[in-house]
């Protein structure tokens, strides 16, 4: 999954993309050549302390790109059958507009908690949802990273509650993806524990069999450990977290550096998931 942030204030790539970018489509085509198959469009930064933007502003940032990619996918016919469009939003109205423009997945960092209309809207639209573990909002989540019963059991318990809420809203279980929420209401130590014990989280009763997304790309805990202040220079640190996520059983890795992380994912698959080597001559 490639991160496409159309925001001026995202922690790593703010201002890199904009709706009027005349080369946007060619950049997305290149991401596909490098190994991206899911394109995640975001118009609202979820970095700690980020300011809210209106739903209308969010839509104006992402809908043109979603529509352009969808139309290109249609024109490519079967050659782009593996391309999936995702929208990173916690607003139901933005999710609906994105689906109308061609989105397939709603990637909600709040798992439906910041907009009561989100889960019923996704159910009505018949689309897939990614439920991420987070507490509070981007403005206050860093003050809520307290897990007296343990980070893995608590994430499992709180995600299971969101799965139940999604199913009660009418979302089919086979349309649910989970995300442990690395960096969201988590300390650096929590993030490392999630990666270290990810297989345990995936195997939690009630969560078994669901697909998982992991998004660790360029995050601050990598910078602190690698002693690299510039998020764009955290490629190698990110690579280690992607390998750990694949080893732990991640089905999707959400990244900025597509070419590099596609290689990491392929090699990690070859080491820990050799059944994916069909057709490769060794």
β-strands 176-179, 2-5 pairing = unpaired
Contact 237, 225 (CB under 8 A): yes
Q: Classify 135 as helix, strand or coil.
A: coil
The enclosing H or E element of 238 equals: helix 235-248
Q: Classify 191 as helix, strand or coil.
A: helix
Contact 235, 259 (CB under 8 A): no
Report the chain's C-alpha Rg in angstroms: 18
- The answer to whether 27 is a known catalytic residue is no
The enclosing H or E element of 55 equals: helix 55-76
Catalytic residue (choose from 73, 135, 219, 234): 219
Contact 187, 145 (CB under 8 A): yes
Catalytic residue (choose from 254, 259, 266, 273): 254
- The answer to whether 254 is a known catalytic residue is yes
Calpha distance 101→133 (Å, rounded)? 27
Please state the length of the chain: 282
Calpha distance 190→150 (Å, rounded)? 9
Catalogue the active-site residues.
Answer: 219, 254
């Amino acid at each position: 999954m490639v991160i496409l942030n159309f925001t001026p204030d995202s922690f790593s790539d703010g201002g890199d993309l904009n709706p009027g970018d005349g080369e946007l489509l060619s950049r997305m085509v290149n991401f596909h050549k490098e190994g991206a198959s899911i394109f995640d469009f975001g118009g609202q930064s979820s970095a700690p302390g980020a300011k809210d933007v209106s739903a209308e502003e969010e839509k104006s940032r992402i809908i043109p790109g979603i529509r352009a990619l969808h139309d290109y996918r249609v024109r490519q016919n079967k050659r782009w059958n593996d391309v999936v469009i995702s929208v990173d939003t916690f607003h139901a109205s933005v999710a609906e507009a994105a689906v109308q423009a061609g989105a397939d997945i709603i990637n909600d960092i709040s798992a439906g908690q910041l907009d009561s209309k989100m889960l019923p809207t996704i159910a009505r639209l018949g689309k897939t949802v990614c439920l991420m573990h987070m507490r509070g909002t981007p403005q206050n989540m860093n003050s809520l990273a307290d897990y007296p019963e343990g980070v893995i059991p608590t994430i499992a318990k709180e995600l299971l509650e969101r799965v139940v809420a999604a199913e009660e809203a009418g979302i089919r279980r086979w349309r649910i993806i989970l995300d442990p929420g690395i960096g969201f209401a988590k300390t650096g130590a929590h993030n490392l524990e999630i990666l270290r014990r990810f297989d345990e989280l995936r195997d939690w009763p009630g969560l078994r069999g669901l697909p998982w997304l992991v998004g660790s790309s360029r995050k601050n805990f990598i910078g602190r450990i690698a002693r690299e202040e510039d998020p764009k220079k955290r490629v190698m640190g990110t690579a280690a977290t992607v390998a750990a996520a694949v080893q732990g059983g991640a089905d999707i890795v959400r990244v900025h550096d597509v070419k590099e992380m596609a290689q990491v994912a392929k090699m990690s698959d070859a080491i820990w998931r050799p059944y994916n080597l069909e057709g490769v001559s060794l």
